């Protein structure tokens, strides 16, 4: 019986629960000094002077650096299509563009001495008008980057039709906000740099993409990537914000070279909230049209993306929003256009789902508003417009080809599990009772939200590295180019190898995130790991069996064609005569002793045929107190189909985390600034970080629709929960307020925002 598909507990957890993991901040480097930053307290200003004299004399100070001391070039935007006239300096030079931008670097003997010395630095600012939102960035004459001549970082201009909605009985239009959020990983950013005696650099960083960071650090320093060894130790969360490096990382390495000593740095939580890249930040204008019997005929989405002060990956994400524009719906005509603009805020980067949740949030809100306009149940409108199961592979109006799916099946399963008919009946009973009792707005309101979604994972296909080696003691070593930071790769990859080799999981060691040990890797993002890294490891294991059979045949004095591996026992024998067999240890020992054969191992670079498209449906139930506006999420029922599940326990963990993060955006989380550009959510006391206290026990509905694009049938699962839950919860809040004529409430549905929606005129 195969181990695959079983709920196997994580191999990683005993270490985390006993000894504890090793994060960047846990590293002990002999002779290390510590790097701290003086960060801008102004959103937009010219730097007229910087006085560091007193700081240089402070206790423990080794060195103080300003932009004038650095020979390092600024960091260009990561994606070539972005406006390259908007680079980010290592330290602010002449001008600051957001609160939290590093201005001065201070190196001290002890970590605590850096903040003390930073207090002695005097920076004189000449304030400039702050540009605080993307709509203002289009209208103002104030330019963040004068040399660019514009605040536009990227325009994705596609043809728009004047007659798009011809033939529609109903057309609904709405401006909605997909608000800026903070990734807030429990481990904030940090790094440690050491130049070795051979002239090479070793850098430890909290990264999702070790090889990407290695290359970016090398490029920033102007050296060959081969001169850099990048190691990501245990990583306490990433959520997309740790895909790419930051100027701080390059600066840490350069200072280590100047000081001739290792250098460590670590953000505080408050620094992390203003300096680590933020997510989302789209203003969306949705237009949807169709017939009064519920058929959607046309859809248009116009996006204005907040890029923050320097265009990074977040500025490109509207392209992913366009890719998934029409979601699970067979909409004949659809159009998209977007502009990404810079503002005096923290740069935006990828955040769990990275452009795809924004697409789902828009189209799901559009469908709900359309359903409300024609007076149909939102679940019925969805069912009437879903892509038929027989239509796959299906190509959308934006030329995205979905591999496989059963959208109606997912919707039916989740509605049945939630007892949707019963929920609607209970809601109708309570509304009728409230009217009969003349309760007005004093009765608690019940809201039901439904979402259906499809997302793209392993965007662009891609190539991934996997290797398996069996040592003379019979134990296996697995190496992969993905970089687990909570996903459980050590467990899932060991399951794949154990299934193919018959070696117990406890005898399988997993190595990742070290560029000297892993020659190539595209890291972990976009829910790509199992369908690319897992397939690479599985193929390496399969090839290793074939390679080992050659030696086993010699040891058994048999024709290789007659030798088989018994995966249940982990032994090679001649077909039909299992009594005489050779173990993996015996074969690996023979390999080590065989000239020109070398270690018993194989390496694979797997190239995917293309991306895959997980999908699902969610139902959320909320209770709203109309007197205070407080929303309580009472039920969350989720069906997330990610193809074949190697380990359902790990998949459920990813879904649970995604549901929590999605609900958090719908109800609580928002990065906010005042009119002068000062962040007012710069710590976890002010930023509404969700906890178990705000969440119900999630109800998971299983469904598996394998993809034909890889041998495992696996799709991505890491972001799905986030994508489906946010619109479901938002829709539930709007549904609860329907008796008051409210059709839309922007996220997050805070008590104040909900209360104001109830108490404003219905036609507002």
pLDDT tens per residue across span 283-315:
999 999 999 999 999 999 999 999 999 999 999
**Spatial contact of 240 and 279, defined as CB atoms under 8 Å apart:** yes
d(CA 726, CA 724): 6
Banded model confidence at residue 440, pLDDT cuts 50, 70, 90: low
Clarify whether residues 307 and 264 are in a common domain.
no
pLDDT tens per residue across span 372-411:
999 999 999 999 999 999 999 999 999 999 999 999 999 9
80: which 2 tokens? 């070539």
pLDDT tens per residue across span 647-685:
999 999 999 999 999 999 999 999 999 999 999 999 999
Clarify whether residues 641 and 749 are in a common domain.
yes
Structural domain includes residue 720:
yes
Structural domain includes residue 178:
no
Structural domain includes residue 441:
yes
Clarify whether residues 113 and 216 are in a common domain.
yes
Structural domain includes residue 547:
yes
Banded model confidence at residue 443, pLDDT cuts 50, 70, 90: confident
Give residue 442's pLDDT: 57
Give residue 534's pLDDT: 98
Give residue 462's pLDDT: 87
The residue-averaged pLDDT of 242-269 equals: 97
pLDDT tens per residue across span 528-559:
999 999 999 999 999 999 999 999 999 999 99
- Beta-bridged to residue 639, according to DSSP, are 617, 701
Task: Find the CATH number of the domain harbouring 514.
Answer: 3.30.365.10
Structural domain includes residue 429:
yes
* Residue 371: pLDDT over 80: yes
Question: For the residues of 648-678, what is the DSSP string, one character each?
Answer: HHHHHHHHHHHHHHHHHHHHT----B-TTS-
**Spatial contact of 348 and 306, defined as CB atoms under 8 Å apart:** yes
Q: How far is CA 20 from CA 191, 206, 699, in A?
A: 19, 16, 31
Tell me which of 607, 628, 643 is where a domain ends. Answer: 607
Give residue 405's pLDDT: 98
Give residue 595's pLDDT: 85
Tell me which of 566, 589, 607 is where a domain ends. Answer: 607
Structural domain includes residue 632:
yes
d(CA 421, CA 380): 12
Clarify whether residues 653 and 567 are in a common domain.
no
Clarify whether residues 324 and 252 are in a common domain.
no
Give residue 549's pLDDT: 96
Clarify whether residues 266 and 289 are in a common domain.
no
Clarify whether residues 197 and 345 are in a common domain.
no
d(CA 337, CA 305): 11
Structural domain includes residue 138:
no
Clarify whether residues 92 and 194 are in a common domain.
yes
* Residue 129: pLDDT over 80: yes
Q: Quick one: what percent of the chain has pLDDT higher than 70?
A: 99
Which among 197, 454, 564, 178 has a CA at the least distance from the CA of 338?
A: 178
* Residue 339: pLDDT over 80: yes
Q: Quick one: what percent of the chain has pLDDT higher than 90?
A: 97
Structural domain includes residue 159:
no
Task: Find the CATH number of the domain harbouring 116.
Answer: 3.90.1170.50
Q: What are phi and psi of 264, to 5 degrees?
A: -120, 150
Domain limits for position 578: 462-607
* Residue 133: pLDDT over 80: yes
Clarify whether residues 468 and 452 are in a common domain.
no
Q: What is the mean pLDDT of the chain?
A: 96
Tell me which of 607, 623, 640 is where a domain ends. Answer: 607
Clarify whether residues 361 and 446 are in a common domain.
yes
pLDDT tens per residue across span 577-604:
999 999 999 999 999 999 888 899 999 9
pLDDT tens per residue across span 704-748:
999 999 999 999 999 999 999 999 999 999 999 999 999 999 999
Clarify whether residues 347 and 258 are in a common domain.
no
* Residue 762: pLDDT over 80: no
**Spatial contact of 729 and 365, defined as CB atoms under 8 Å apart:** no
Give residue 69's pLDDT: 97
Give residue 438's pLDDT: 61
Q: How far is CA 610 from CA 116, 151, 317, 453, 715, in A?
A: 52, 35, 19, 19, 11
Clarify whether residues 39 and 119 are in a common domain.
yes
* Residue 441: pLDDT over 60: no
Banded model confidence at residue 111, pLDDT cuts 50, 70, 90: very high
Structural domain count of the chain: 3
The residue-averaged pLDDT of 209-220 equals: 98
């Amino acid at each position: 019986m195969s181990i695959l598909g079983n709920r196997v507990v994580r191999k990683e957890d005993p270490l985390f629960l006993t000894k504890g993991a090793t994060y960047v901040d846990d590293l002990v480097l002999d002779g290390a000094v510590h790097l701290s930053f003086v960060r801008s307290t102004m959103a937009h200003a010219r730097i007229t002077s910087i006085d560091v004299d007193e700081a240089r004399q402070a206790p423990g100070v080794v060195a103080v650096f300003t932009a004038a001391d650095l020979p390092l070039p600024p960091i260009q935007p990561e994606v070539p299509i972005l406006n390259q006239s908007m680079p980010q300096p290592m330290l602010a030079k002449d001008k600051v563009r957001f609160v939290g931008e590093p201005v001065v670097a201070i190196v001290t003997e002890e970590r605590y001495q850096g903040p003390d010395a930073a207090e002695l630095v005097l920076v004189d600012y000449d304030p400039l008008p702050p540009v605080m939102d993307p709509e203002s960035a289009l209208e103002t004459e104030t330019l963040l980057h004068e040399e660019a001549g514009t605040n536009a970082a990227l325009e994705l201009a596609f043809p728009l039709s004047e007659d798009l909605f011809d033939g529609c009985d109903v057309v609904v239009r709405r401006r909605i906000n997909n608000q800026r959020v903070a990734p807030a990983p429990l481990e904030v950013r940090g790094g440690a740099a050491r130049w070795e005696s051979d002239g090479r650099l070793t850098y430890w960083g909290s990264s999702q993409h070790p090889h990407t960071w290695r290359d970016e650090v090398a490029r920033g320093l102007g050296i060959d990537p081969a001169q850099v060894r990048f190691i990501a130790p245990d990583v306490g969360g990433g959520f997309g914000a740790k895909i790419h490096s930051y100027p701080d990382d390059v600066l840490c390495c350069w200072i280590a070279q100047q000081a001739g000593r290792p250098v460590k740095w670590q953000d505080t939580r408050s620094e992390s909230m203003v300096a680590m890249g933020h997510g989302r930040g789209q203003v969306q204008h949705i237009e949807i049209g169709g017939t009064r019997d519920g058929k959607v005929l046309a859809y248009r989405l116009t996006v204005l993306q907040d890029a923050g002060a320097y265009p990074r990956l977040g500025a490109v994400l509207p392209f992913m929003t366009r890719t998934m524009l029409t979601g699970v719906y067979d909409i004949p005509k659809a159009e998209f256009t977007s502009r990404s603009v810079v503002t005096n805020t923290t740069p935006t980067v990828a955040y769990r789902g990275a452009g795809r949740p924004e697409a789902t949030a828009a189209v799901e809100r559009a469908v709900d508003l359309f359903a409300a306009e024609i007076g149909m149940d939102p679940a019925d409108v969805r069912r009437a417009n879903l892509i038929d199961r027989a239509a796959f592979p299906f190509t959308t109006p934006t030329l995205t080809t979905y591999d496989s799916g059963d959208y109606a099946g997912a919707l039916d399963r989740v509605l049945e599990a939630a007892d949707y008919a019963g929920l609607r009946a209970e809601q109708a009973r309570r509304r009728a009772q409230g009217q009969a009792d003349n309760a007005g707005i004093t009765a608690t309101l019940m809201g039901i939200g439904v979402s259906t979604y499809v997302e793209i994972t392993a965007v662009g296909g891609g190539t991934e590295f996997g290797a398996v080696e069996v040592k003379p003691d019979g134990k296996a070593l697995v190496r992969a180019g993905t970089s687990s930071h909570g996903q459980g790769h050590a467990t899932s990859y060991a399951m794949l190898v154990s299934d193919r080799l018959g070696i117990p999981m406890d005898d399988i060691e997993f190595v990742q995130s070290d560029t000297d040990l892993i020659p190539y890797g595209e890291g972990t993002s976009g829910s790509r790991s199992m369908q690319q890294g897992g397939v690479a490891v599985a193929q390496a294991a399969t090839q290793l069996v074939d390679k080992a059979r050659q030696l086993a045949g010699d040891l058994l004095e048999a024709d290789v064609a007659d030798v088989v591996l018994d995966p249940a026992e982990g032994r090679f024998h001649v077909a039909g005569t299992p009594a005489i067999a050779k173990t993996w240890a015996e074969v690996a020992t023979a390999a080590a002793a065989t000239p020109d054969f070398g270690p018993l191992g194989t390496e694979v670079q797997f190239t995917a045929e293309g991306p895959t498209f997980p999908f699902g449906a969610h139902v959320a139930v909320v209770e709203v107190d109309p007197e205070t506006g407080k929303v309580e999420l009472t039920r969350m029922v989720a069906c997330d189909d990610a193809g074949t599940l190697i380990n359902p326990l790990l998949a459920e963990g990813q879904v649970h985390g995604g549901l929590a993060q999605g609900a958090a955006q719908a109800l609580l989380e928002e990065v906010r600034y005042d009119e002068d550009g000062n962040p007012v959510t710069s710590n976890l006391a002010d930023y509404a970080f969700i906890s178990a206290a705000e969440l119900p026990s999630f109800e998971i509905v299983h469904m598996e629709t394998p993809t034909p694009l890889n041998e495992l049938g696996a799709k991505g699962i890491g972001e799905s929960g986030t994508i489906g839950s946010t619109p479901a919860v938002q829709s539930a809040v709007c549904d609860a307020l329907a008796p008051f004529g409210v059709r839309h409430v922007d996220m997050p549905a805070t008590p104040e925002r909900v209360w104001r929606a109830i108490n404003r005129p219905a036609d507002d």
